[in-house]
Amino acid sequence: MYRLLAIVLCLIIGCSCVAASADGEWNPQLANWNRPSLSYTTQKSSNGYAVSSDYLNKVLRVGAVSSGWSRITATISGVYSFSVNTDALPEKVSKLTLQIYRYIDNDERLRNTDTLTFIRGEGVVTRTVQNVMADQELFWTQNSSGFDYLLMINTADFEGNKEDEIDLVPPVSSGTVNASDFLTGTPILSRTPSAGDTFFMGWYEQDNSLSNGRERIEWTVLDVNQAKDSMLVISSLALDCKIYHPSRAQVAWGDTYLRNWLVNTFANSALNPREQACIIPQRVANTTDTVTMLDEVQIAKYRLAKTGCLVSDYAANLPNPVNINDNGFGCWWVRMDRTTSNAKMKFVGRSGYVYAASKTDSNSYLKQNGGNYSTSKDNGIRPAMLLRLSALTNTMLEDDMSVVIGTVVNAANPTQRVAGIAITIGGQTVYTDRNGEFVAGVDVGNVPYTVEHSDYITINDSFIATGGQQSIVIPVSRRMAWNEYRVVLTWGASPRDLDSHLWGSTEGGSSYHVFYSDLRSDSGKALLEWDDITSYGPETTHFLAYPGKSYAFSIHDYTNRGRTHTNAMANSGAKVVVYRGNEMIGIYEVPADDGTVWKVFTVYDNEITPVNTMSYCSDPSYAGR
């Protein structure tokens, strides 16, 4: 998907600067971190280049201060470039070094992820910081002080695509869209639509009957621009009901809960990757949106307030439903550049009026006093998008996909969720948010996925997508030493309790049995890191394998331990993933045989051998021996 990149070359040396300084320490902890803020400049420079606030680029005037720290918050995910005019560095400064820090995982610790070096006399030099996540904060400190320099922040998508490199396909011929053309296998658009036409694209629950699956989303065309190969659309119905933001504070649109829900959760669950590729990213309220909402000016322009808005049955029957009248018309949020702490937010009421805190607001249209706080729970959501016409004619309507709601956790401690993990799944790459969660739309069937992060072992695995919405948990393991093992067990709802058992030896030759009754041995080098007793897992075992020593790993069906005939574990969907050093070395699925003990593998002299046999044992003290 293309991300917006407006390239602005603006060299400003000698203007007044905004200093960003704070006493900091090398790799400081969150608890004692003082975060300075920087100001953007949109003034015309001395050499004639203007920096427009409409551009994604921001040119920052930075005063370099010894032991000082600077910060910027990423507006979108992508590559961030730092450009410095090295010819403007003082003679006493031969090299400018920026140490870039970011928060990694959930341990609230800054880590030095990049070192950017600029040598004096080389002109304008650009260095990049890769894989910056939306809303991630970049902190940096510099090695010298006593001068000002210009810093340019540019962004692109992870593939490096830029808008000025895109060749627009000629627009399709004029015509009328028939909203009933929604059979699988037909294009999303077969003709160029006109304002007011409707069409179908994507899936979302709307009739409030989960048993029959989700329904196609109907979109209303607001504006068509054939010269730019684009059209602006909005959902015909209010599809859901969400708060705007969980706090009554001044928050920019890009930082609100609702914006992030639209761009991440809604986009990835309602639209498959091929449909998302039809979206033209827009610059909206100092951030870049794919799926967005309309502001009051647009609502007035397209006369949306006059017509009212019908609400889906789903949104009208939520525990906190959309506020509707007897005709089925409901309230829906209006996008604002910034929430307000003392006044209320704008919304379109059931009767078609725009409500706000005051009639004196600019760009008013059918304005009424009122408004709702950002925490209000009864306003509907009407997503809007800017779509590429030519892409829609080459994209087919498809059957509904599976919506995967995933959570990435630390295998050693599954209560710790891991942010910033890249998951390549269903033809797209998504990233876990601050809660370690991601949403992706995938086709029904076997879905392979790859999990990657510089601090964690890469995972290549798969799962079965059954259609509709489903949740998965992905445990990840940190990188380890060459003879260090981590074994992760997961299973289904039944049996309730499966137990991991490790029989092994210390380096000195003493035998041990690590399981729920004896959690650690070998001075802590062998331990049951996490014991799960309420289905699903993960349950995690960690140990060191010494040269010339033997180890055996088994799973015991504790729930059915007393039975002499059972296939409960065989039907549990149990799976064991084994990590060694810096790689995943094995995935084992439970055999389809009766038994209460599954002997999974053995290790001798740091070499693993699959076993995969089933047997019976009623006493946990001897399971897997």
Predicted confidence at residue 135, as pLDDT, reads 67
Exposed / middle / buried, residue 564 (Cβ in 10 Å: 0-12, 13-18, 19+): exposed
Beta strand 230-235 with 215-225: parallel, antiparallel or unpaired? Answer: antiparallel
- Name the residue with higher pLDDT: 108 or 266: 266
Q: What is the mean pLDDT of residues 335-346?
A: 86
**pTM of the predicted structure, to 2 decimals:** 0.58
Predicted confidence at residue 50, as pLDDT, reads 29
For 497-554, the pLDDT digits (tens) are 999 999 999 999 999 999 999 999 999 999 999 999 988 999 999 999 999 999 999 9
Query: Which of the four pLDDT bands, split at 50, 70 and 90, describes residue 48?
Result: very low
SS3 of 317, please? coil
Query: Which of the four pLDDT bands, split at 50, 70 and 90, describes residue 259?
Result: very high
Predicted confidence at residue 521, as pLDDT, reads 96
Predicted confidence at residue 616, as pLDDT, reads 97
Tell me how many degrees the CA angle 428-431-435 measures, rounded to the nearest 5: 145
Exposed / middle / buried, residue 348 (Cβ in 10 Å: 0-12, 13-18, 19+): buried
Query: Which of the four pLDDT bands, split at 50, 70 and 90, describes residue 3?
Result: very low
Range among 110-119, 346-355, 420-429, 506-515 rated most confident: 506-515
Predicted confidence at residue 352, as pLDDT, reads 77
Beta strand 110-119 with 95-103: parallel, antiparallel or unpaired? Answer: antiparallel
Say whether pLDDT at 22 is over 70.
no
Q: Token pair for residue 80?
A: 């961030």
Range among 91-105, 283-297, 298-312 rated most confident: 283-297
Exposed / middle / buried, residue 464 (Cβ in 10 Å: 0-12, 13-18, 19+): exposed
Q: Is the dihedral of CA 423, 427, 430, 436 positive or negative?
A: negative
Q: What are the angstrom distances between the C-alpha of 247 and each of 182, 253, 340, 344, 371?
A: 40, 13, 10, 12, 16
Predicted confidence at residue 466, as pLDDT, reads 79
Predicted confidence at residue 400, as pLDDT, reads 84
Query: Which of the four pLDDT bands, split at 50, 70 and 90, describes residue 127?
Result: confident
Q: Nearest CA to 580 among 541, 612, 522, 624?
A: 541
Say whether pLDDT at 4 is over 60.
no
- Name the residue with higher pLDDT: 595 or 36: 595
